[in-house]
A and B are shown apart, each in its own frame.
Chain A
Amino acid sequence: MLDKTQIAKRIAREVKNGQYINLGIGIPTLVANYIPENLEVVLQSENGLLGIGPFPTEDKIDPDLINAGKQTITMVKGSALFNSADSFAMIRGGHVHLTILGAMEVSENGDISNWKIPGKMVKGMGGAMDLVASAENIIVAMQHCSKDGQSKLLKECSLPITGIKCVKKIVTDLAVLDVLPEGGFKLLERAPGVTVEEIVSKTEGRLLVEGEIPEMVFD
């Protein structure tokens, strides 16, 4: 099984040189720490920054400089600041190449639910609906099953939808899977020590398993 750091490390391998990338809150934020140093990418924060840098040292904290998770941050060389309408023009207009975000559920046709649990607190969707409706490539970081063992990779999402037919790839604590254009999950890799049988038993949606499924290797 992968821990959160390993999920982030695995997703970081999907990043390509020259990409503009939006990272969601949680595990996706950790991905920034593992992007190979030989790649040049620019991280977008939807509250109005291209070029997110590391967290500031105590003496460099600026309350006027935060990321979308409201954390204090810094800017890298070549950063640009802009307003929220421009920020979502970049997203909606397809200028951001890759969106990495968390999910509560994903369906076999690529629908995602990650913004609301009816009956519990409703916090709002923030920028998630805009991001999933427009990004050309969406990778989801999530747990394969809920705490009580129910699969979160489903035939159909049971929670309110954030976006339809948008997820391209999923990295869970158990596996890496593609969402096929015609529908269905395709198993690509399994986590160290996890069998194909376990992944099959914990995936409710249609799962395609072809040939030998390699085990992920971490340094």
Chain B
Amino acid sequence: MITKTVTNAAEAVKDVVSDSVLMFGGFGLCGIPENCIQALLQKDLTGLTCISNNAGVDDFGIGLMLKKRMVKKMISSYVGENAEFERQLLSGELEVDLIPQGTLAERIRAGGAGIPAFFTPAGVGTEVADGKEIREFDGKIYLMEKGLRADFAFVKAWKGDTAGNLIFKGTARNFNPMMATAGKITIAEVEELVPAGQLDPNHIHTPGIYVQRIFQGVDYEKRIEQRTVSKG
């Protein structure tokens, strides 16, 4: 069998260099690759382009990479809740490409699936359409969006096996499965890593073909942004 297992996050990210294009799974702080982000923070990297639905918060997730000035450009759909992000954006230190969330998801899916571009109605008549090809199909207007790929995709799953197969939990799935397909090198960190054969093939969300490296993460914080409870 092809060996994909690495011992930890530091080994998984060892060949990430400055100016790389990186994808990070997650929605808000839900389902983010916490271990890989921590390992990247230990490296001396600059000029990174980060593709992620959000940009973390000031003291967690990608927010920590922004604070350390590792990021040149963010490609995201929503970047609220981050004061350092706001400061760098307004001062011109950080470049930001804001993309409708469904378009971002589909651009990554398309990139991983070998589809160079597609047409979507999202953003027609808005500043998102600036400079893009517009076409009419069956009386409705669409704009062209291109597929996205990355040098490295960092994804977080609930369970994985040594063949790289992944199973996600709850809404922590979000962008992770598409990003797994769109990385030249996809690195999966999982809460539980088991030998190949122990996960039911019927339940696999991401087949191992998309995953080049896998390891069992440690010390998951899983920080909650909006802790809302009912009295029951």
A residues near B (Cβ < 8 Å) are 45-49, 54-58, 61-73, 81-85, 87-88, 91-92, 111, 121-130, 133-134, 160-164
| Chain B residues whose CB sits within 8 angstroms of the CB of A134 once the complex forms | 121-122
| Chain A residues whose CB sits within 8 angstroms of the CB of B76 once the complex forms | 124
Question: What CA separation (Å) do A160 and B98 show in the bound complex?
Answer: 14
Structural contact, A133 and B178, CB atoms closer than 8 A: no
The chain A residue with its CB closest to the CB of B108 is A85
Structural contact, A72 and B228, CB atoms closer than 8 A: yes
Q: Which of B15-51 contact A (CB under 8 A)?
A: 27-31
Structural contact, A133 and B122, CB atoms closer than 8 A: yes
Structural contact, B170 and A81, CB atoms closer than 8 A: yes
**Shortest Cβ distance from residue A130 to the other chain B in the assembled complex, whole angstroms:** 3
Structural contact, A47 and B30, CB atoms closer than 8 A: yes
**Shortest Cβ distance from residue B4 to the other chain A in the assembled complex, whole angstroms:** 21
The chain B residue with its CB closest to the CB of A165 is B125
| B5 beta carbon closer than 8 Å to chain A | no
| Chain A residues whose CB sits within 8 angstroms of the CB of B223 once the complex forms | 63
Knowing A56-B229, A81-B173, A126-B78, the reply to whether A64 touches B222 (Cβ < 8 A) is yes
Which of A55, A68, A127, A160 makes the CB contact (< 8 A) with B228? Answer: A55
Question: What CA separation (Å) do A67 and B168 show in the bound complex?
Answer: 16
**Shortest Cβ distance from residue B71 to the other chain A in the assembled complex, whole angstroms:** 16
Question: What CA separation (Å) do A123 and B81 show in the bound complex?
Answer: 8
| Chain A residues whose CB sits within 8 angstroms of the CB of B171 once the complex forms | 45, 47-49, 64-67, 81
Which of A56, A85, A161 makes the CB contact (< 8 A) with B126? Answer: A161
| B212 beta carbon closer than 8 Å to chain A | no
Knowing A56-B230, A66-B226, A83-B176, the reply to whether A47 touches B103 (Cβ < 8 A) is no
Structural contact, B98 and A92, CB atoms closer than 8 A: no
Tally of contacts, chain A with chain B, CB under 8 A: 170
Structural contact, B28 and A66, CB atoms closer than 8 A: yes
Interface centre among A55, A91, A124, A162 (most CB of B within 10 A): A124
Structural contact, B125 and A124, CB atoms closer than 8 A: no
**Shortest Cβ distance from residue A51 to the other chain B in the assembled complex, whole angstroms:** 12
Knowing A63-B223, A81-B173, the reply to whether A47 touches B27 (Cβ < 8 A) is yes
Structural contact, B227 and A61, CB atoms closer than 8 A: yes
The 5 A-B residue pairs with the shortest CB-CB distance in the complex, in nearest-first order: A88-B102, A130-B102, A164-B125, A64-B170, A57-B232
Q: List 18 A-B contacts (CB under 8 A).
A: A46-B101, A48-B174, A63-B30, A63-B223, A71-B226, A84-B101, A122-B96, A123-B78, A124-B77, A125-B98, A126-B77, A130-B122, A133-B124, A134-B122, A160-B127, A161-B125, A161-B126, A163-B125
**Chain B 87-120 interface 0/1 with A at a Cβ cutoff of 8 Å (1 = within):** 0010000001010111111101100000000001
**Shortest Cβ distance from residue B189 to the other chain A in the assembled complex, whole angstroms:** 14
Knowing A72-B224, A133-B123, the reply to whether A127 touches B101 (Cβ < 8 A) is yes
Which of B128, B176, B178, B225 makes the CB contact (< 8 A) with A70? Answer: B225
| Chain B residues whose CB sits within 8 angstroms of the CB of A69 once the complex forms | 226
Knowing A85-B105, A92-B102, the reply to whether A129 touches B126 (Cβ < 8 A) is yes
Question: What CA separation (Å) do A171 and B41 show in the bound complex?
Answer: 47
The chain A residue with its CB closest to the CB of B76 is A124
**Shortest Cβ distance from residue A5 to the other chain B in the assembled complex, whole angstroms:** 17
**Chain B 119-144 interface 0/1 with A at a Cβ cutoff of 8 Å (1 = within):** 01111111110000000000000000
Q: Which of B47-94 contact A (CB under 8 A)?
A: 53, 76-80, 86, 89
